[in-house]
Amino acid sequence: MPFTLAYPVQFEEEIKKSRFQAMAVPVDSEQAVKDFLEENKDPTTTHQCWAWKIGHQVRFNDDGEPSGTAGRPILATIEGNELTNVLVLVNRWYGGIKLGTGGLVRAYGGCAGQCLKLAEKIELILKKQVAFHCHFNEWAILQYELTQQQIDYQEHYEADGVRIEALMQLHQIEPFALKIRDITRGRESLKIMEDEEND
């Protein structure tokens, strides 16, 4: 069962005069990752190393530290905590004492790990984009269902009825598909859109 973070967390520590600051945030897309990294660019740091995992996608960056000493250990702590849809950024302000490769791995991985220990984990609820079409006179019933189940949706009025796109939790899809078939007497069905970001 995948978990993500309930809210962003931070942790700071000093290791041999270098200051390390870890920030962990929940993310749901590559765009969210880019936005966060852009907003948290800090020219005063010596290195800004990070790793993220969204579903099966992972990326990490050593930002000038020796290869494999920063981004990969940060990613290892994300995976070790069974987290997904998470980005961890670790800033380092160099304090004049070299840590060596083993020391760097421990510092980056350790700081990221301490940060994630502070985080409240929540179960990640997987959702799928779905779409369906119905006649105008059927829409009120289906709209009521969507609202009752707190499902996010967008409606598009067309000449022959209403086209709806919605984001549903996995367990909501099957019952809703049956409801649509029932109300439209088998004329319409619920279509699951393939997530374009998984290409």
Q: For 72-122, write each residue's pLDDT tens digit.
A: 999 999 999 999 999 999 999 999 999 999 999 999 999 999 999 999 999
- Give the Cα separation of 45 and 48 in Å (integer): 7
Which position has the higher pLDDT, 33 or 28?
A: 33
pLDDT confidence of residue 160: 92
Reading the block at residue 124, the tokens are 């990640």
The pLDDT of 8-26, averaged and rounded, is: 97
Let me know: does 104 contact 74? Beta carbons within 8 Å: no
Residue-wise DSSP of 27-63: -SSHHHHHHHHHHT--TT-SEEEEEEEETTEEEEE-T
Classify burial at 5, counting beta carbons within 10 Å of its beta carbon; exposed 0-12, middle 13-18, buried 19 or more: buried
pLDDT confidence of residue 1: 65
pLDDT confidence of residue 196: 42
Tell me whether the CATH fold assigned to 3-123 matches the one assigned to 127-198.
no
Q: 41-63 pLDDT, tens per residue?
A: 999 999 999 999 998 899 999 99
Which position has the higher pLDDT, 131 or 172?
A: 131
pLDDT confidence of residue 11: 98
Long-range CB contacts for residues 45-49, cutoff 8 Å, separation at least 24: 45/91, 45/92, 45/93, 46/18, 46/92, 46/93, 46/94, 47/91, 47/92, 47/94, 48/89, 48/90, 48/91, 48/92, 49/74, 49/89, 49/90, 49/92, 49/108
pLDDT confidence of residue 129: 87
Q: Which CATH architecture has domain 3-123?
A: 2-Layer Sandwich (3.30)
Would you kindly state where each structural domain of the chain is located, as residue ranges?
3-123, 127-198
pLDDT confidence of residue 102: 96
pLDDT confidence of residue 199: 32
**Residue 197 reports pLDDT greater than 50:** no
CATH fold of the domain at 127-198: Alpha-Beta Plaits (3.30.70)
**Residue 163 reports pLDDT greater than 50:** yes
User: What pTM was computed for the model?
Assistant: 0.69
pLDDT confidence of residue 194: 66
The pLDDT of 61-67, averaged and rounded, is: 96
